[in-house]
Amino acid sequence: MGSIDIGRVGIWTWILDQVPSPQAAEYTAEAEELGYGAIWYPEAVSRDPFVKAALLLGGTSSIKVATGIANIYARDPMTTANAQRTIEEAFPGRFLLGLGVSHAHMVRDIRRHDYSRPLSYMREYLVRMGEAPFIAHGPTDLPEVVLAALGPKMLQLSAEETAGAHPYFVPPEHTAIAREVMGPDAALYPEQMAVLDTDATAARALAREAMSRYLQMPNYTNNLKRLGFEQSDIDGGPGGGPSDRLVDAIVVWGTPEQVSARVREHFDASADHVCLQVLAGSIDATVEGWRILAPHLLD
């Protein structure tokens, strides 16, 4: 388990980049008031994740802020290490750095970097982060890091060289596999998508919309095939999208009790923390989902 206490359940969300920064801080403060242990957000082509962390931490008092994930191709290892140290000095124990290799199209096509050896690059990147000099006031030791990890090699690296892993777009079956690969001591923080709707047609339609971007990315589809899903599950469903079987494995839908039951499945598979991503038709509906689920997920 990592040294940063992020509680049992956190929120994973895209919405903080879709509103003005003061409103993003208000949503984070509300998540804190509701009792969620952490708020997770990605890095793609939007706000800088370190600047955003400082803004969110400055507007709250106890919730942890975590990147899920910061792209290692976006900045060199010294820049990443010292941005992390800067936030740690200002907000001790409240920032968890999740790092990842992102995806080929994001790195090669958008950032114009080489994506030929992502695992080796991550291994070298972590070494260089640990060696980065820092002469400002603040922590000498590098604060805690977790890795976006799906396959066995990245999971092993996360357990050996960092605090643990943050798998994304995975069912509880992957959580059990990850625990077996990583051993009992590494932190394991999977993400879980959820739709609060008991209408199967509507819930699965919303789930398919959210899943569509990820099913274009080999990192995710390869992982699904390792878990036993077929190509027909990926693109043989309604409209050429995912099958009902795959939708129901990746996205839990239904009542708050059903969502809570899926979260418990991750814990039964030895997760330490679950990052819940509420899927909804609007930002307001997403935040309302946080409110509805809090009494069912948080002690």
CATH of the domain at 136: 3.20.20.30
In the 3-class helix/strand/coil scheme, how is the chain assigned residue by residue?
CCCCCCCCEEEECCHHHCCCHHHHHHHHHHHHHHCCCEEEECCCCCCCHHHHHHHHHHCCCCCEEEECCEEHHHCCHHHHHHHHHHHHHHCCCCEEEEEECCCHHHHHHHCCCCCCCHHHHHHHHHHHHHHCCCCCCCCCCCCCEEECCCCHHHHHHHHHHCCEECCCCCCHHHHHHHHHHHCCCCEECCEEEEECCCCHHHHHHHHHHHHHCHHHCHHHHHHHHHCCCCHHHHHCCHHHCCCHHHHHHHEEECCHHHHHHHHHHHHHCCCCCEEEEECCCCHHHHHHHHHHHHHHHCC
What are the backbone dihedrals phi and psi of residue 275, each rounded to the nearest 5 degrees, phi first? -95, 110
Say what the pLDDT of residue 113 is: 72
Mean pLDDT within 213-231: 96
Mean pLDDT within 223-233: 98
Tokens encoding 59: 């507007």
255 is a domain residue: no
246 is a domain residue: no
Q: Is the pLDDT of residue 104 over 80?
A: no
Say what the pLDDT of residue 103 is: 67
Say what the pLDDT of residue 109 is: 67
Mean pLDDT within 133-159: 96
Residue 141's pLDDT band (boundaries 50, 70, 90)?
very high
CA angle 62-42-49, nearest 5°?
Answer: 65
What are the backbone dihedrals phi and psi of residue 3, each rounded to the nearest 5 degrees, phi first? -80, -20
Provide the domain count of the chain: 1
Q: Given the structure tokens 């993400």, which residue do they identify?
A: 191
Segment among 7-16, 101-110, 137-146, 192-201 with least mean pLDDT: 101-110
167 is a domain residue: yes
Full domain range(s) for residue 158: 9-190+293-297
Tokens encoding 146: 């977790």
148 is a domain residue: yes
Q: Is the pLDDT of residue 299 over 80?
A: no
Say what the pLDDT of residue 115 is: 80
95 is a domain residue: yes
CA distance 71 to 49: 9
120 is a domain residue: yes
61 is a domain residue: yes
Which residues fall within 8 angstroms of residue 179, CB to CB, at 6 or more apart? 188, 269, 270, 271
CB distance 67 to 38 below 8 Å:
no
241 is a domain residue: no
Tokens encoding 149: 């990890």
What pTM, to 2 d.p., does this model score? 0.96
